[in-house]
């Protein structure tokens, strides 16, 4: 699945890089994948210390751990590859909690992306598109060069891709376009450890007692990045007391689990979760079983054995855990039952905007291919049914029997309910019951790609303002529709309410987004040419009787 998507991503990245370089000739479009990869990797470099005093002072921002000098392009200043830790998690710090920054009076370039975290991502036989490494804990900041006396709201993007892939350097996550259109906010993107370096339970191994945090390091990295933002963003003109964290898929899960971490609320005020929830977590027992499975494959008995492995071999072997590596509900860093924690008011002071897409699982059908998807889905369905009581199994089979269409439809619609729809509504219900706010949405525009329809990730290019990036959509969505979506996201970040008055709406029309309520369960429907609120019952999005209960079993 990932190879197919990443091969497409190379072409998208090529378009992006050529746009940045100002070149769109036919000759450029004929470049080989290796040539494209070379161009993208050329955007990397070492952000060296500036010792001769020769730099543009208007582009320099003093932070706790140094003064960072950015680059300006078409009204937006980008600061890339800023470290948010005092020491990178390499060597003896592998599988250890992130180390806080220390004061530094040095001046450093912030021109280049930091490394992406190690991941089993191979794009073609030519290898990874992005530079990877364990020394990956960096962030990026984008701000308008417009002078402003007021502190600006801050929107912190956390990337997704299953807790095993991805990086801030993905061209889709470049926020210059977003800030150029919305100069009244500051955008940040944060890197974190993924896969076996970010979410691997080790404390049960004979010499694993020194690694008590290994199962949730990726989340700890995110918190450390948010701490850096809290302490430094005012120097960029941002308001540290008005921070919104947002993300999609695994990062939708991240931003809905971060509020449950003790002490996190001082770092952000609002959450935007796209197609993600605490559903993407695992128990300690599940985490231990997955570690043991990997250890057996590698022939390792101890953490010391793992430390001796070639990194690429280790990461390649971890592919067996794909889509089964999650943060751990350990009862210490994360609660054993996140939904219950929400119902008990753990995040009632945090404003939420959350939703999902109409055909989420079609992304996986399209990515895997029909035959591999059907095999994967049958295995996952069998595993899920094995957890259920006989009565619950009957409800699930009844749901599946009512699904019409292609042979993949009954499992894809079932998994839509289990992984995305039911968790979304349970989170909205529990947040509302506790006295908190939830603005809930349902995204419906369809891709032009075969099978994809309104699958997982189709809204990313809309939200982050990359209409040229059609890897998930096959086409650009309506421009006015896209601007309204972004304006609502920004308005929510600014005020806590995504509704738009006619004066600020891109189409000159008022768009009132009602809060989710327990009686009518009102949500915003994002039809491409008709954004409007509805009661959930009008579309029967969730099968409350036959699927809602499945949230207690979390993900597949």
More confident position, 438 or 15: 438
Reported as a pLDDT band with limits 50, 70 and 90, residue 491 is very high
Q: Burial, 104: exposed, middle or buried (Cβ in 10 Å; 0-12, 13-18, 19+)?
A: middle
3-state SS class at 73: strand
Reported as a pLDDT band with limits 50, 70 and 90, residue 36 is low
pLDDT digits (tens, 9 = 90+) for 73-91: 999 999 999 999 999 999 9
Nearest to 274 by CA among 336, 356, 170: 356
| CA distance linking residue 372 with residue 5, whole number of Å | 15
- 255 with 247: CB under 8 angstroms? yes
Active-site residue, from 174, 328, 360, 459 = 360
Tell me, yes or no, if 360 is annotated catalytic.
yes
- 300 with 275: CB under 8 angstroms? no
| CA distance linking residue 68 with residue 57, whole number of Å | 10
> Residue 44 pLDDT > 90, yes or no?
no
> Residue 131 pLDDT > 90, yes or no?
no
Reported as a pLDDT band with limits 50, 70 and 90, residue 555 is confident
pTM attached to this predicted model: 0.94
User: Taking the alpha carbons of 220, 222, 226, 231 in that order, is the dihedral positive or negative?
Assistant: positive
Active-site residue, from 116, 169, 189, 249 = 249
- 165 with 217: CB under 8 angstroms? no
> Residue 1 pLDDT > 70, yes or no?
no
Reported as a pLDDT band with limits 50, 70 and 90, residue 31 is low
Nearest to 255 by CA among 277, 236, 282: 277
Ordered structural domains, the chain, with CATH: 1-39 (no CATH), 44-336 (3.40.50.1820)
**Cβ of 44: how many Cβ atoms within 10 Å?**
18
- 520 with 540: CB under 8 angstroms? no
- 117 with 196: CB under 8 angstroms? no
Strand partners, 72: 77
Q: Give the pLDDT of residue 30.
A: 56
Helix residue ranges per DSSP H, 404-473: 409-415, 422-433, 460-463
| CA distance linking residue 354 with residue 272, whole number of Å | 6
Q: Give the pLDDT of residue 39.
A: 66
User: Taking the alpha carbons of 279, 281, 285, 287 in that order, is the dihedral positive or negative?
Assistant: positive
| CA distance linking residue 263 with residue 328, whole number of Å | 18
| Tally of CA atoms within 13 A in the half-sphere of 113 that contains its CB | 23
Reported as a pLDDT band with limits 50, 70 and 90, residue 122 is low
Reported as a pLDDT band with limits 50, 70 and 90, residue 121 is low
Q: What percent of the chain has pLDDT over 90?
A: 85
| CA distance linking residue 537 with residue 532, whole number of Å | 15
State how far Cα 159 lies from the chain centre: 3
| Residue-by-residue DSSP string for 240-302 | EEEEEEEEETHHHHHHHHGGGSTTGGGG-SEEEEES--TTS-EEHHHHHHHHHHHHHHHT--S
Q: Look up tokens 């997704």; give the residue.
A: 160
Q: H or E stretch including 476? A: none
> What are 475's two structure tokens?
């086409």
Render the burial of 23-36: b for 16+ CB within 10 Å, e for the rest: eeeeebeeeebeeb
DSSP annotation of 532: E
All residues at 6 or more sequence positions from 365 whose CB lies less than 8 Å from its CB, including other chains: 373, 408, 412, 451, 455
All residues at 6 or more sequence positions from 228 whose CB lies less than 8 Å from its CB, including other chains: 63, 64, 65, 82, 84, 101, 139
Reported as a pLDDT band with limits 50, 70 and 90, residue 267 is very high
CA distances from 460 to 172, 220, 306, 476, 487 (A): 8, 25, 36, 11, 14
Q: Look up tokens 């949230």; give the residue.
A: 551
Strand partners, 531: 526
Strand partners, 82: 139
């Amino acid at each position: 699945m990932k190879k197919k998507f990443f091969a497409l991503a190379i072409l998208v990245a090529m378009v992006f890089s050529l746009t940045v370089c100002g070149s769109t000739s036919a000759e450029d479009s004929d470049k080989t994948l290796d040539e494209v990869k070379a161009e993208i990797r050329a955007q990397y470099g070492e952000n060296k210390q500036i010792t001769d005093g020769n730099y543009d002072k208007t582009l320099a921002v003093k932070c706790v751990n140094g003064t960072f000098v950015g680059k300006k392009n078409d009204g937006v200043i980008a600061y890339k590859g800023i470290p948010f830790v005092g020491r990178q998690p390499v060597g003896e710090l592998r599988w250890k909690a992130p180390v806080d920054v220390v004061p530094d009076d040095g001046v450093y370039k912030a021109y280049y992306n930091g490394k992406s975290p190690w991941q089993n991502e191979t794009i073609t036989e030519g290898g990874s598109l992005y530079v990877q490494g364990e020394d990956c804990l960096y962030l990026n900041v984008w701000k308008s060069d417009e002078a402003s006396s007021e502190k600006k709201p801050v929107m912190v993007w956390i990337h997704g891709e299953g807790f095993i892939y991805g990086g801030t350097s993905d061209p889709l996550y470049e926020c210059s376009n977003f800030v150029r259109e919305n100069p009244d906010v500051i955008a940040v993107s944060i890197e974190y450890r993924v896969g076996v370096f970010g979410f691997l339970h080790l404390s049960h191994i004979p010499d694993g007692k020194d690694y008590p945090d290994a199962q949730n390091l990726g989340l700890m990295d995110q918190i450390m990045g948010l701490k850096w933002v809290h302490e430094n963003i005012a120097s960029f003109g941002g308001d540290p007391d008005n921070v919104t964290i947002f993300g999609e898929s695994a990062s939708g899960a991240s931003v809905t689990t971060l509020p449950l971490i003790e002490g996190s609320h001082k770092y952000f005020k609002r959450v935007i979760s796209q197609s993600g929830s605490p559903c993407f977590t695992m128990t300690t027992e599940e985490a231990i079983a997955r570690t043991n499975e990997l250890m057996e494959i590698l022939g390792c008995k101890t953490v010391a054995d793992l430390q001796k492995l070639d990194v690429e071999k280790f990461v390649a072997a971890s592919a067996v855990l794909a889509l089964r590596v999650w943060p751990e509900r350990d009862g210490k860093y994360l609660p054993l039952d996140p939904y219950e924690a929400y119902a008990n008011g753990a995040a009632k002071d945090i404003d939420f905007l959350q939703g999902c897409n109409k055909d989420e699982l079609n992304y996986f059908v399209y990515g895997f291919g029909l035959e591999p998807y059907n095999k994967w889905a049958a295995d996952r369905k069998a595993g899920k049914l094995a957890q259920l009581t006989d009565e619950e199994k009957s409800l699930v089979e009844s749901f599946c029997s009512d699904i019409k269409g292609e042979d993949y439809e009954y499992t894809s619609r079932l998994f839509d309910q289990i992984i995305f729809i039911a968790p979304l509504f349970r989170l909205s219900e529990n947040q509302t019951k506790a006295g908190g706010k939830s603005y809930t949405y349902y995204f419906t525009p369809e891709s032009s790609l075969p099978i994809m329809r309104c699958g997982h990730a189709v809204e990313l290019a809309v939200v982050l303002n990359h209409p040229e990036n059609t890897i998930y959509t096959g086409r650009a969505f309506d421009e006015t529709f896209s601007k309204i979506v972004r304006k609502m996201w920004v308005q929510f970040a600014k005020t806590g309410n995504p509704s738009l008055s006619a004066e600020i709406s891109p189409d000159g029309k008022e768009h009132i987004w009602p809060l989710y309520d327990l009686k009518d369960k009102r949500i915003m429907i994002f039809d491409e040419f008709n954004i409007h609120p509805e009661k959930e019952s009008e579309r029967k999005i969730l099968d409350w009787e036959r699927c809602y209960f499945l949230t207690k079993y979390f993900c597949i």
